Amino acid sequence: MITVKPLRGLCPQDPLAAKVAAPPYDVISSEEAREMAKSNPLSFLHVNKPEIDLPVGTDLYSDAVYAKGSENLQSFIDQGILKQDEKPGIYVYQQSWRGHTQTGFFCLASVEDYDANRIRKHELTRASKEADRTKLMDRQNAQIGPVFLMYLSEPELDGYLQQITQTAPRVDFTSSDQVRHVVWSVFDAALISRIQRGFAKLDQLYVADGHHRSAAASNLCRERKANNPNHTGEESYNFFLVVIFPHTDLMILPYNRVVVDLNGLTVQAFMSRVADHFMMESRGKTAPELQEHEIGMYIDGAWHLLTCKPGIFDPKDALDNLDVNILMKNILGPVLGIQDPRTDNRIDFIGGIRGNEELVKLVDAGKFQVAFSMHPTSIDQLIAVADAGMIMPPKSTWFEPKLRSGLVIHKLD
């Protein structure tokens, strides 16, 4: 049984929404955010990346950053940029990009469901990033960025989405990256109850993106519960801000890898080690089109298609079957000496939206010595790993388009 709740959303109104809405905090650097927001005082980047309003070089985890984030959010409220709806509602959020459309419920999910693994995860989190989001959430007394969840598509809930999107939206704009964003409000108590009953019939949801935000919500709930002798379980901190999409709507792009060096090997010796586990076909300057269990490798000015040799993975094992895990077990770990990609600074991860051209640029510039382009992890693979209680290697999925922050905020009052 899955619990969802409506909320009194703190929202920008048209036409401000287009200027307020901003990328999530973790997909752009501080430098990129500072550049994006410098001519837009309404950008939500002032709230979810508040270091941009402090001197360059400020420690991202300093108290000054959290204080500035709280100050900026309150300023947005005081100026009327953000206004809280008078009644609790469930919102519907639709994004359209390059012929792809995804539509989901913008609402509150239960921390209890998350802690009980009814909201299933597929990635580990970093303690430092958890602590960062927990502290910002606490200081702002708000959840400012939604967690990206999915449910297994079913007719009743899908039908409510279709019904609501036939009505007039409250927000409709296209962002600079050519993603169209549309938001509807549902304040009808009877329809809200039907949506809640629809979710109550489900056994689980899945985290698509936002593992640190959901973990932070759990952390804050635990802290506030411990400090509240009159805790009832209905306080706002028992819930967290989410958008829940049917799994059939979602699209995963590749998450590629680049490595600084060859772990002391020459190019020839490295290629020989790779050939132990993969059939290798040179493609020159042309990046290969990939199928499952194929990997593109760019090194020394040329692309190579790597195809798995029989026996190097177990196709019946949900985790072993992942291409990102095959790369980790057969090249990154044993050949390149990367034992923990979460902490090793010799490896970096490049979202597939940047294309193979970005990989070529990074290697040719000498910043990295080898790049790997990946076939995207599928939704079915994500579900299989999460259902098995397993954890994917870091940066296994890149969902696109990204949810904008600043369209609906959950105040923890």
Separation between Cα atoms, residue 109 and residue 356, nearest integer Å: 37
Q: Residues 117, 238: one domain?
A: yes
Residue 234 burial (10 A CB sphere; 0-12, 13-18, 19+): exposed
Exposed, middle or buried: residue 266 (CB in 10 Å: 0-12, 13-18, 19+)? exposed
What would the two tokens of residue 32 be?
A: 């990129």
Q: Are residues 321 and 226 in the same domain?
A: no
d(CA 106, CA 43): 21
Cα(213)–Cα(231) distance, integer angstroms: 22
Residue 31's CATH number = 3.90.1530.10
Quickly list DSSP for 112-155.
Answer: HHHHTTSEE--S---HHHHHHHHHHHHHHTEE-S-EEEEE---H
Q: Tell me: do 239 and 270 sit in the same domain.
A: no
C-alpha gyration radius of the chain: 22
Q: How far apart are CA 332 and CA 392, in angstroms?
A: 15
Asked whether residue 338 falls in the same domain as residue 317, the answer is yes
| List of E strands, 260-367 | 278-284, 294-299, 302-308, 347-351
Does residue 320 lie within any of the structural domains? yes
Range of the domain at 270: 255-375
Instruction: Evaluate whether residue 231 is within a structural domain.
Output: yes
Q: Cβ of 80: how many Cβ atoms within 10 Å?
A: 10
Tell me if 19 is assigned to some domain: yes
- Residue 281: inside a domain: yes
| pTM > 0.85 | yes
Neighbours of 265 (CB within 10 A): 16
DSSP 402: P
Domain check: are 246 and 265 in the same one? no
d(CA 65, CA 379): 36
Tens of pLDDT, residue by residue, the chain (413 residues): 999 999 999 999 888 999 999 999 888 899 999 999 999 999 999 999 999 999 999 999 999 999 999 999 999 999 999 999 999 999 999 999 999 999 999 999 999 999 999 999 998 888 888 999 999 999 999 999 999 999 999 999 999 999 999 999 999 999 999 999 999 999 999 999 999 999 999 999 999 999 999 999 999 999 999 999 999 999 999 999 999 999 999 999 999 999 999 999 999 999 999 999 999 999 999 999 999 999 999 999 999 999 999 999 999 999 999 999 999 999 999 999 999 888 899 999 998 888 899 999 999 999 999 999 999 999 999 999 999 999 998 889 999 999 999 999 999 98
Asked if residue 191 lies in contact with residue 105, where contact means CB atoms within 8 angstroms, the answer is: no
Task: Say if 332 falls within a structural domain.
Answer: yes
Q: How many helices (H) and strands (E) does the chain have?
A: 13, 21
Number of domains making up the chain: 2
> Are 360 and 259 within one domain?
yes
